[in-house]
Amino acid sequence: MTEPFALVTGTTGFIAARLVPALLTEGWRVRATGRRPRPDDLPDAAEYVPADLVADDLAELCAGVTHVFHLAGASSSKSSQEEMDRDNVDATARLLDAASHVERFVHMSSTSIYGEEKQLPLPVREDVEPNASRGYGKAKWGAEQEVWARGRQGVPVVVLRPVTVYGPGATKLLASAILDTAIERAAGLPRLAVAAEPMEQRLVHIDDLIAASLHLAAAPDAVGRAFNVVDGIYPSSHDVAAVLAGCFGMDVEVGGEGLDEDRRRRVHERMVSQGMEPAILFTPDRLRLMTKTNRNNRLSTEALDSTGFRLARTDFAAAVADNVDWYRSKRWLPG
The smaller minimum CB distance to ligand NAP, of residues 16 and 242, is found at 16
Nearest distance from residue 153's CB to ligand NAP, in Å?
Answer: 22
Sign of CA dihedral 81, 153, 103, 58: negative
Integer Cα distance of 212 and 309 in angstroms: 7
How many angstroms separate the Cα of 278 from the Cα of each of 10, 171, 187, 289, 333?
A: 21, 10, 17, 19, 9
* Chain centre distance of CA 48: 22
Binding residue (CB under 6 A) for ligand NAP from 66, 92, 110, 296: 110
73 binds ligand NAP (CB under 6 A): yes
Integer Cα distance of 97 and 313 in angstroms: 36
The string over 49-69, giving b where at least 16 C-beta atoms fall within 10 Å of a residue's C-beta and e elsewhere, is eebebbeeebeebbeebbbbb
* DSSP letter assigned to residue 161: E
Paired strand residues for 192: 252
Nearest distance from residue 36's CB to ligand NAP, in Å?
Answer: 4
Residue nearest to ligand NAP (CB): 13
Binding residue (CB under 6 A) for ligand NAP from 58, 62, 155, 173: 173
Of 47-55, 59-67, 151-159, 272-280, the window that binds ligand NAP (rule: CB under 6 A) is 47-55
84 binds ligand NAP (CB under 6 A): no
User: Could you tell me whether strands 203-205 and 157-162 are parallel, antiparallel, or unpaired per DSSP bridges?
Assistant: unpaired
The smaller minimum CB distance to ligand NAP, of residues 10 and 151, is found at 10
Of 67-75, 192-200, 246-254, 288-296, the window that binds ligand NAP (rule: CB under 6 A) is 67-75
> Per-residue x/- mask for ligand NAP, residues 123 to 142, rule CB under 6 A?
-----------------x--
Q: Nearest CA to 312 among 225, 233, 252?
A: 233
Integer Cα distance of 75 and 139 in angstroms: 9
The smaller minimum CB distance to ligand NAP, of residues 186 and 279, is found at 279
Sign of CA dihedral 22, 24, 26, 28: positive
The smaller minimum CB distance to ligand NAP, of residues 138 and 140, is found at 140
Beta strands in the chain (DSSP E): 5-9, 29-33, 47-48, 67-70, 104-108, 157-162, 164-166, 191-194, 203-205, 225-229, 251-254
Integer Cα distance of 129 and 120 in angstroms: 9
Of 20-28, 29-37, 245-253, 272-280, the window that binds ligand NAP (rule: CB under 6 A) is 29-37
Nearest distance from residue 109's CB to ligand NAP, in Å?
Answer: 7
61 binds ligand NAP (CB under 6 A): no
Nearest distance from residue 12's CB to ligand NAP, in Å?
Answer: 4
Compute how many other C-beta atoms are within 10 angstroms of the C-beta atom of residue 94.
18
Please tell me the count of residues contacting ligand NAP according to CB under 6 A: 27
Nearest distance from residue 240's CB to ligand NAP, in Å?
Answer: 15
Nearest distance from residue 72's CB to ligand NAP, in Å?
Answer: 4
Binding residue (CB under 6 A) for ligand NAP from 87, 144, 180, 208: 87
Nearest distance from residue 248's CB to ligand NAP, in Å?
Answer: 22
How big is the chain, counted in residues? 335
Of 162-170, 231-239, 266-274, 297-305, the window that binds ligand NAP (rule: CB under 6 A) is 162-170
Residue 144: its H or E element: helix 135-152
Binding residue (CB under 6 A) for ligand NAP from 108, 175, 226, 320: 108
Sites of contact with ligand NAP (CB under 6 A): 9-10, 12-16, 34-36, 52-54, 71-75, 87, 91, 108, 110, 140, 162, 164-165, 173
